[in-house]
Amino acid sequence: MHTVQVDTPGGHYPIHIGSGRLDALADSIPADATALALVTSTTVAGLYGARVQAALATTGKPVLCIELPDGERHKTWDTLNRIFDALLAGGLDRKAVLVALGGGVVGDICGFADLRFSCPPASAPASAAHPDRGPARDSRSPAPGPGCDRHWHDPDRRPGPTVRLP
């Protein structure tokens, strides 16, 4: 296996390259992860879903599979909310790890969902603590999913919704 370290202004992470990586995904899961969510498309799930679920199950952590429809037209707030709803219905918390199986839409939307779902508590909802400002919503914020009080936009931090978890 070959590992490439990627350094960005937001942090660094490894990319592991090599044969057999699909069956060794459990090696990349942090020890403190509470559960795993496998996010994939219906086409990729049919080809590799069971194999990857079995590999992830070797961690001993619960594995939730979330299948998304194929195609760029499904890169929407509705699809993002499907992920959030599944994560919340499955009882996953902020220490859960989202695993994107596929590319394109799956990688983009899973990465965005992970960024929002596992955000640090300090970023959500900061505006609720200030009595004069109150919560802010903008046109980019989707409707709340089940189990969410509401989606928040903190104008002092970064654009877009943040899921407030209990």
Residue 153 lies in a domain: no
Query: Is residue 11 in some structural domain?
Result: yes
Question: Residue 81's domain is classified under what CATH number?
Answer: 3.40.50.1970
Give the range among 17-21, 24-28, 115-119, 157-161 with minimum mean pLDDT: 157-161
Whether residue 92 lies inside any domain: the answer is yes
Is residue 110 assigned to a domain?
yes
Residue 165 counted as domain residue: no
Bridge partners of residue 39, in order along the sequence: 66, 100
Structural domain count of the chain: 1
Count of CB atoms situated within 10 Å of the CB of 75: 15
Q: What is the reported pTM?
A: 0.68
- Return d(Cα 107, Cα 101) in angstroms, integer: 7
Q: Does residue 14 belong to any structural domain of this protein?
A: yes
pLDDT tens string 25-61: 898 888 999 999 999 999 999 999 999 999 999 999 9
Q: What is the pLDDT of residue 74?
A: 92
Q: What is the pLDDT of residues 123-156, one digit of tens each?
A: 223 333 333 433 333 333 344 443 333 333 333 4
Q: Give the whole-angstrom CA distance, residue 150 versus residue 68.
A: 23
Lookup: tokens for 162: 């943040």
Range of the domain at 71: 2-118
